[in-house]
Chain A
Amino acid sequence: MIVPWGETRLVQGNEAVALGAIAAGIDFFAGYPITPSTEIAEILARYMPLLDKKWIQMEDEIASISALIGARLAGSRSMTATSGPGFSLMQEGLGYACMTEVPLVLVNVMRAGPSTGLPTQTAQGDVMQSRWGTHGDHPAIVLAPANVMECFRLTIRAFNLSEMFRTPVILLPDEVIGHMRERVRFPLRDEVHIEKMPVPDVPVEWYEHYHDSATNVSPMASFGSGYRFHVTGLTHDRQGFPTRKENEVNAKMDRLKHKITRRLDELEDVMMHDLDESSVVIFAYGSVYRSALAAQAILKKRRKKVGVFRPVTLWPFPDKTVKENLDSKDVIVVPELNQGQMIHEVERMTKDSVRVVPLHRVDGYEITPEEIVNAVMEVI
C-alpha cells in the first residue's frame, strides 16, 4: 500500500503531492529535474513501476508536457511537476492542452525569479504567469495549497477538475509548502472521490471530439478506442478539423471561455476568518496565509480585530465573493511573496474608498507574522 490510507504520518509537501497523484489514479508522469519540485518526480519514479504505471524523464520540460498530452489522448491520466524556469518552457504545451481540451495536472512549486533567480528559495512570482503565461485567450484553473494535507487533497482535486472541465489544472504551491513537513492524517480510501471523464457512447460516425453540451465539456474518446479523430492546435470545428469560419471560430473560443465562467460555483474555493466583525482584512494565499493566521492571533491578543481572506482556487479569481465580502471594509492588507500580483485583482474588485495596502517580499524568505502585524498596525 503506497498511500497510507487512514494512517497518520509525518509527510513532506512534495511527497504529499506524489501520494495525492497516486490516490487520484495517475497513469503517466513525465518530467525534467528541477528544484524545488524534484521530490515529486523521484517519489513517483520509485512507486509508479510497482503499479505498472508509466514514468519517464524527458529531455526537457517542453518534451515533458508534450508527452503528457500524448499520453492523455491515449487514455492515461497524466501529471508533471516543475518550477519557474521549467514552467516557462511548459507554456507552449499548456496552451496546446487548453486549445485541444486535454486534461492534465501541472504542479509548479514556485521559486524566486525572474530567470534562474534564487535557486531555490520561496516566492509567489508565478501567480500571473499561471493565469496568462501562454499566448492567446485561454481558460485557467489554479489551486494554491497552504499546508501538507492540502498538497494531498488539492492534487486529487486538480485531477478531478481537469477531468470535469477537460482542461489543464495547475497546482501552485510555493517552495515553503513543497518542502515543509507536517503531520498528515490520510483519509480512508472510500472518503476520496475520484472523477472520471465520461467516454462517448455514440456511434463512431456521429462522434464529435468537441461536441456542444450544456456544460461546455463533451465526452472525450481515446486513441485506440475505435473513435478516430483529429487533434490540432489550429483553431478547429466540433470534429476537430482546422477552420477559419467566423461562426466556428467564435463558437470554439466562446466555449473555452464559458466552460469556466459559467461554472464558477464548482471552482470557487475560499476561506474566510472573522470577516464580519473586522474592518481590516488580510488577503493572503499559499504559505503567506499561514503567517496571516498567526498575525491575526497576535493582533487578537492586542485587542485588534482583523479578518483573513484566502483564495484556495486562485484562478478563476473569486470576483463575486471578494466584492461581497471586502468591498465594505476600510483596509485590506495584501502580503505577497512578489512585487504585487494578486493585489491588482483585489483592487479591481473593491471600490476606490477601500484602502488596499501591499506588503512585498522578494528576497527568497517567507513573510513573517510580525511583518504582517507591523503592516496592520500602521494602517489600523
Chain B
Amino acid sequence: MPAVIPYEYKYLRAKKRFPHVWCPGCGIGIVMGSIIRSVHAMQWDLDDIVMVSGIGCTSRMPVYVDFNTLHTTHGRSLAFGTGVKMANPSLNVMAVMGDGDALAIGGNHIIHAARRNIDITAIIVNNNNYGMTGGQFSPTTPPGARTATTPYGMIEPGFDVCKLMEGAGATFVARGTVYHVTELDNLLLKAFRKNGFSVVEVLAPCPTNFGRANRQGGPVEMMKLLKDNTINISQLKALKEGQADDKIVRGIFVDRDVPSYDERYRALCVKAKKEAEAEK
C-alpha cells in the first residue's frame, strides 16, 4: 500500500472538517485516499472537480475533500450530477455512493445515467449493508447473510453491480477492493480518464455492522477475506473452469468507446439549428 504522502493533505479540508465520522476499520477512508491519488495523477485543478454524493456513510465523503462538493438527498447523486455536468461540461464530475444509495433508492437514476452515457465517474463503495442506519440489508447483501433486518438470514438474491451496469450501457465497468489499493488507484485513474459513464465498484468491509452480525471478525480478518475471496480477472485465465467459482472477480469488465451524452447534445444543437434554418 502506498504511504500517506504529504500531497494528499492538499486535497483535504484538513483543518476544518476532521475527525471524520467513519468507524474504526471502515473501508471508506481508503477509497477516499485512492480517489485523491488518482485525481492527483490526473492533474485536475481542484476548482474543476465536483464530487456529488447521496446519503449514507460513503456519501459523507464530500465534506472532507477540498473540491466543489455536493451532498444531496438519498439516491439522487447522479441526477444532481447530471444537472451539474450538463450545465458546465468542462467540470470533472464524480459521484460517490454506497450500495444502498446507488442501487436501491438510486437504482432508477444509475441505470438511466448509464444508458444516457453522461460523462460522470460513479464510485460505489459496496459494504453489503446500510451502515449509517445500523446495518440493515441492502441490494448487495449476500443470500443467507444476517443483518438488522434479516435476523433469520437474507432470502433475496443480490445485484451483481458490474453486470447490471454493463447491461445498462456504462462505457467503463470495473471492480476493486480496499485491500488491493494499488490496483484500485489504477482502476479509478482509468475510470476518470474515460469519456462517458464509468463505474467502479469497490468492495469494502463494515466491521461494525455487517462483520459483527455475520461473525466475520474484526477489520483485519475482514481485510483478509477481501484478499482470499477475490481474484483478479487476469489470474482467472490460468485456472480451469469451475476452479474459481467461489471467488469474486476483480478488474475491468467493460471498456468501450461510445460518444458521451455531452457530445451527442452538442451535435443535437447543431442539427436543430440546421433544421430550423432549412424550414425558413
Binding site for B on A (CB under 8 A): 27-28, 30, 49-50, 52, 54, 56, 58-60, 62-64, 66-76, 78, 92-93, 96, 222-226, 228-234, 241-242
Contact = CB atoms under 8 A, between A and B. Distances in A.
Nearest to A70: B83
A76 B87 contact: yes
B87 A230 contact: no
Interface stretch (B44-52, B139-147, B177-185, B220-228): B44-52
Please name the 3 residue pairs, one residue from A and one from B, whose CB atoms are nearest each other, closest first: A70-B83, A67-B83, A66-B79
Nearest to B118: A56
A223 B50 CA distance: 7
B276 interface: yes
B256 interface: no
A66 B76 contact: yes
A96 B72 contact: yes
A70 B79 contact: yes
Contacts of B189: none
B71 A232 contact: yes
Given A49-B272, A59-B108, A241-B16, A67 B68 contact: no
A50 B275 CA distance: 10
Contacts of B109: 59, 63
A226 B73 contact: no
B17 A241 contact: yes
B265 A74 contact: no
17 contacts: A49-B268, A50-B272, A52-B269, A60-B108, A66-B72, A66-B79, A66-B80, A69-B83, A71-B84, A74-B50, A74-B84, A78-B83, A92-B73, A92-B76, A224-B47, A241-B17, A241-B63
A224 B82 contact: no
A243 B225 CA distance: 37
Interface in B20-60: 46-48, 50, 52
B47 A74 contact: no
Given A49-B269, A228-B68, A233-B71, 8 more contacts: A59-B108, A66-B76, A70-B79, A71-B87, A76-B87, A92-B73, A96-B72, A223-B91
A22 to B, nearest CB: 14
Contacts of A56: 82, 86
| A contact face: mostly helix, strand, loop, or mixed | mixed
A230 B71 contact: yes
A228 B83 contact: no
A203 to B, nearest CB: 14
A242 B62 CA distance: 12
Given A92-B73, A223-B50, A230-B69, A70 B63 contact: no
Contacts of A27: 87
B81 interface: yes
Interface residues of B, number: 39
A40 to B, nearest CB: 18
A232 B62 CA distance: 10
A74 B87 contact: yes
B190 interface: no
A73 B48 CA distance: 13
A61 B222 CA distance: 40
B67 interface: yes
B265 A70 contact: no
Contacts of B276: 50
Contacts of A59: 79, 108-109, 112
Interface centre among B46, B48, B81, B84 (most CB of A within 10 A): B84
A66 B63 CA distance: 19
Given A56-B86, A73-B70, A232 B63 contact: yes
A54 B262 CA distance: 10
B91 A230 contact: no
Given A63-B109, A71-B83, A228 B66 contact: yes
A58 B78 CA distance: 11
A63 B69 contact: no
Contacts of A50: 269, 272-273, 276
Contacts of B73: 66, 92-93, 96, 233
Nearest to B111: A59
Nearest to A222: B88
B83 A231 contact: no
B90 interface: yes
Contacts of B48: 224
Contact of A70 (B62, B84, B90, B108): B84
B76 A71 contact: no
The winner among B62, B269, B273 for most chain A CB atoms within 10 A is B269
Interface in B83-113: 83-88, 90-91, 108-109, 112
* A66, A228, A231, A233 — most chain B CB neighbours (10 Å): A66
A30 B68 contact: no
A342 B79 CA distance: 34
A226 B269 contact: no
B86 A54 contact: yes
Given A50-B272, A69-B80, A96-B73, A223 B86 contact: no
A146 to B, nearest CB: 32
B2 to A, nearest CB: 25
| Most chain A beta carbons < 10 A, residue from B80, B85, B269 | B80
A63 B76 contact: yes
A365 B140 CA distance: 50
B79 to A, nearest CB: 4
